[in-house]
Amino acid sequence: MEIFGDKWMLLILRDIMFNGKNSFLASAEKISSAVLTEKLNRLLEEGIVSKVTSPKNASKFLYLITDKGIELVPVMVEFLEWGSKYNPDGGPKPLLDQIKQSKKKAIAELQNRLREEWHSHGLA
């Protein structure tokens, strides 16, 4: 709970895992840059994300989920599923539809996609 005990950590992980976000120059949730930097640094320290230089812009960094972070996908899917129960308009509808069909398959496909993204940046 020390790592994930606030909304910002969960929102950042949600954006990386479910929304394909890997750059955080601006946030729809209006997180301050100082708080965002603090949370991303904490995720880096814990080995949940890795920071790489963008191949398109050397002054920009990308944050990619590591295998340690990918293991959190089932937990995050549970949060997503619970949230959609009480907020039907929230959450990525295609993923929620996949989860309804087969949660196990949806989790495996999401984890594979995240691993492929990791490897596409030359990380092992």
Mean pLDDT by 10 residues, the chain (124 residues): 82 90 75 89 95 88 94 94 85 87 95 90 67
Write down the pLDDT at residue 124: 59
Residues 6+ apart with CB under 8 A from 74: 107
CB atoms within 10 A of CB 20: 11
Amino acid occupying residue 115: R
Q: How many residues are there in the chain? A: 124
Q: Where are the beta strands (DSSP E) in the chain?
A: 49-53, 61-65
Write down the pLDDT at residue 88: 77
Residues 6+ apart with CB under 8 A from 77: 99, 103, 106, 107, 110
- What are the structural domain ranges in the chain? 7-120
Write down the pLDDT at residue 46: 95
What CATH number has the domain spanning 7-120?
1.10.10.10
